[in-house]
Amino acid sequence: MKLVALFVLLVVAGCQSVPSWERGVLARSDMQLEGSPTEALLNSQLYDSKEASAGGLSAAGAGCGCN
Amino acid sequence: MAAEPGDIAPDFNLPGLDGGDEISLSDWRGSVVYLDFWASWCGPCRISLPEMVKLQSALSDAPFTVLAINLDEEPHKGVRFLKRFPVNYPVASNPDGSVAASYNITGMPNSFLIDPEGRVVLAHSGFRPGDMKIIRAHIDELLQSAAE
């Protein structure tokens, strides 16, 4: 248990927020989790209606912090 | 914390993106300035830049300027972007983002409306179709009160 807690602590410590003006690399299309934004939007629409819930899956704006 | 209405807008002195003369915010003291931070990788900037070109043209006779700061780490990408989306206002280059950090911008694009005394009147993050109407109303109000 202690080992798991230590692992989580180490992984979380590696998280860092990137300032909005340094997100050029994150905004590249090959850095996206979803290959097609339109398909992702349609999938999310289907998921939301099937699950009767919305949001919480990803941030909008292709990772660049835009809008 | 991001520069907020009422704050004095941090001054800067940056080279032009085209390699031209240095650009300082203080050069426009006495005018209303719409300061816009952008980068070539920012999707909404493809909408906002043409809108700002129209804004600059519409207010060319007023004590007003759009002033832009490009934040591409590789400035040539910004230059290439401007070949596709040419602008009619000064564009400075800030590849290390030091000025963006001094304004602590929260999104891209991010803009600030600055009054003739150098004070931030409006901070605007992101850009959606229709935003320019709101921004223009603030600019007109500011120009009117500056003329009185």
Mapping DSSP to helix (H, G, I), strand (E, B) and coil, where does residue B136 land?
helix
Q: Which of A50-54, B42-46, B74-78, B103-107 has the lowest average pLDDT?
A: A50-54
One digit per residue, the tens of pLDDT, for chain A of length 67 reads 788 888 888 777 777 788 989 888 888 888 887 778 788 888 888 888 887 776 655 544 444 555 4
Whole-number pLDDT of residue A59: 47
Nearest-Cα distance to chain B for A41, in Å, is 17
Superfamily of domain B51-147: Glutaredoxin (3.40.30.10)
Does A19 contact B41 at a Cβ distance shorter than 8 Å? no
Would you call A21 an interface residue with chain B, using a CB distance cutoff of 8 Å? yes
What integer pLDDT is reported at residue A61 of this predicted model? 47
Please report the pLDDT score of residue A57 as a whole number: 57
ipTM: 0.75
* Angstroms from A29 CA to nearest CA on chain B: 10
Tell whether A67 lies on the interface with B, counting CB pairs under 8 A: yes
Closest CB to A67 among B71, B105, B128: B128
pLDDT of residue B143: 95
Give the SS3 label for residue A7: helix
The pLDDT assigned to B54 comes to 96
Domain boundaries defined on chain B: 51-147
Which of A17, A18, A20, A38 to probe the B interface (max B CBs under 10 A)? A20
CA-wise closest residue to B92 among B62, B114, B73, B67: B67
Report the interhelical angle of B45-58 vs B131-147 (nearest 10°): 30
Mutation for A interface: B42, B80, B105, B125, most A CBs within 10 A: B42
Average pLDDT of span B127-143 = 93
Angstrom distance (rounded) from CA B78 to CA B70: 7
Cis peptide before B109 (omega within 30 of 0): yes
